């Protein structure tokens, strides 16, 4: 059962080939068998999952079900889950039991999906390798000596190792797409505002966006159908009708205009990855697409702009974790200043502290105009570059990451090198565009991901473009031998 996609499992449930209880029990057994090696789950919700599965079976038998009813899903541990620990991969929230469900979690519950547990992640979603988690690193199922990518590394590893059919992720600068590439799965970062951020613990509020991670584009479409939609509790939620993401999956790609940014194929990109991207693009040409070179001239400024904007917003968002109301509190504080200082010093890890310090600095008097304001102006230039490109092409394609998954410890001592692993993804977040990664081959026995970027609210087109490729190739079906 674990080798079936969400679409196949849904069909099996509705045809009564197996029950949700049987399916959920199967995945819980696989988690018990493999999680110690992978460290993908930080919380396994056995009792809740089995209770939800029984309820789903009742809904299925009474005909009051939808596509995801009875399907096991795992939640990234950044989404609040009522009565279940929500840690954000941090010591600061190790003891935090959320009193409510995030909107995304609530929507899965209403659809009748089953929650297997909460997935490991870089602390407060800050990282590109899943090495900053308080609970230790997640291992890449293709090579346990390699990182799974971050921050949604637990989500990517769980899906790739077939211990969860699908998982939620969040993407602030590439945190769905880069781990999807490193682990050989499909991941979609929607347009900013399409998926509610309410109950999703904030890192950088103008960049964060939740999205689906699964084996196929078809599965991502099914998950996004449940996740997307206006939420009056989220001031950044966009009030517009939700498209039927599955309806156009099989549309012809005849006449599709693909743009290849020359900035994506320059120095720093691994030669094998460049070759695999061009081979994937050649498959699209066989499907009727045309290809042309485009330019994103301000692409090289996306890294510096992102690492001003994101830390600035994180320093503001993380100010609430002070040891007073909830979360980690130091022992026997002498006074209020000691409470703040020691609680935050003990609760946050090194990468989070680094970004808080940078963010506080760029927002301080005398530096705001020089750094933060300038970064926001660059952000507009990057957005305008994409706008210009989309007048000429329908989608943009390129590598998701400049390399395959790197080894543990290889970049952890060099933050700049680590930050560069997101060089192709962060511009998409700065512009608020949708982007996705899908597997297109292997290099050095590790998966390679290709990124597809679309114009605002073009998720249906992206999913169609990815799905049609997956109909004529088999990279998305490859599984790590051990799992």
- Residues catalogued as catalytic: 76, 151, 175
Phi/psi-derived region of residue 267, left when phi > 0, alpha when psi is between -120 and 50, beta in every other case: beta
E strand spans, 6-100: 41-44, 72-76
Identify the CA nearest to 52 among candidates 31, 82, 30. Answer: 82
How far apart are alpha carbons 287 and 376 in whole angstroms? Answer: 39
Pairing verdict, β 186-189 and 210-214: antiparallel
Q: How many residues does the chain have?
A: 483
Chain CA centroid to CA 372, Å = 25
Strands (DSSP E) contained in 215-369 are 257-261, 290-294
Distance CA 473, CA 463 (A): 15
Pick from 312, 281, 304: nearest CA to 294: 281
**HSE-CB for 400 with a 13 A CA cutoff:** 34
Alpha-carbon distance of 367 to 375, in angstroms, equals 12
Phi, psi of 55 (to 5 degrees): -65, -40
Cα(442)–Cα(456) distance, integer angstroms: 30
Residue 322 has, within 13 A of its CA and on its CB side, a CA count of 12
């Amino acid at each position: 059962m674990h080798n079936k996609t969400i679409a196949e499992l849904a069909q099996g449930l509705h045809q009564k080939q197996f029950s949700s209880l049987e399916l959920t029990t199967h995945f819980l057994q696989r988690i018990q068998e493999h999680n110690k090696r992978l460290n993908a789950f930080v919380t396994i919700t056995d009792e809740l999952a089995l209770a939800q599965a029984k309820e789903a079976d009742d809904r299925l038998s009474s005909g009051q079900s939808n596509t995801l009813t009875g399907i096991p899903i795992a939640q990234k541990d950044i989404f609040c889950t009522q009565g279940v620990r929500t840690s954000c991969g941090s010591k600061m929230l190790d003891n935090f039991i959320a009193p409510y469900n995030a909107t995304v979690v609530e929507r899965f519950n209403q659809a009748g999906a089953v929650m297997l547990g909460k997935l490991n992640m870089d602390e407060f979603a800050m990282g590109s390798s899943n090495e900053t988690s308080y609970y230790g690193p997640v291992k890449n199922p293709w090579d346990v000596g390699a990182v799974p990518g971050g921050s949604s590394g637990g989500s990517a590893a769980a899906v790739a190792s077939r211990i969860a059919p699908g998982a939620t992720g969040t993407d602030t600068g590439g945190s769905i797409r880069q781990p999807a590439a490193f682990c050989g799965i499909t991941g979609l970062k929607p347009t900013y505002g399409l998926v509610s951020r309410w109950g999703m613990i904030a890192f950088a509020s103008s960049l964060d966006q939740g999205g689906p991670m699964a084996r196929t584009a078809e599965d991502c479409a099914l998950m996004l159908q449940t996740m997307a939609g206006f939420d009056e509790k989220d001031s950044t939620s966009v009030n517009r009708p939700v498209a039927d993401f599955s309806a156009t999956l099989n549309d012809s790609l005849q006449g599709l205009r693909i743009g290849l940014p020359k900035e994506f194929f320059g120095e720093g990109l691994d030669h094998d990855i460049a070759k695999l991207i061009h081979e994937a693009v050649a498959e699209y040409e066989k499907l009727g697409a045309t290809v042309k070179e485009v330019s994103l001239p301000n692409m090289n400024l996306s890294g510096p702009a992102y690492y001003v904007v994101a830390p600035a917003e994180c320093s503001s968002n993380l100010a609430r974790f002070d040891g007073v109301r909830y979360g980690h509190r130091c022992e026997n504080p002498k006074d209020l200043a000691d409470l703040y200082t020691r609680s935050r010093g003990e609760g946050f890890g090194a990468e989070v502290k680094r970004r808080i310090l940078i963010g506080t600095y760029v927002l301080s008097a005398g530096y705001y105009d020089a750094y933060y304001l300038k970064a926001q102006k660059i952000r507009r230039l990057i957005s305008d570059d994409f706008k210009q490109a989309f007048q000429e092409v329908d989608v943009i394609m390129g590598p998701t990451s400049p390399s395959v998954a790197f080894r543990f410890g290889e970049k952890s001592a060099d933050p700049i090198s680590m930050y560069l692993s997101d060089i192709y993804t962060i511009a998409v977040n700065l512009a608020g565009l949708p982007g996705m990664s899908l597997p297109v081959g292997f290099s050095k026995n590790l998966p390679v991901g290709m990124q597809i970027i679309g114009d605002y609210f073009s998720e249906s087109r992206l999913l169609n473009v990815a799905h049609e490729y997956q109909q004529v190739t088999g990279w998305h079906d490859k599984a790590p031998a051990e799992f």
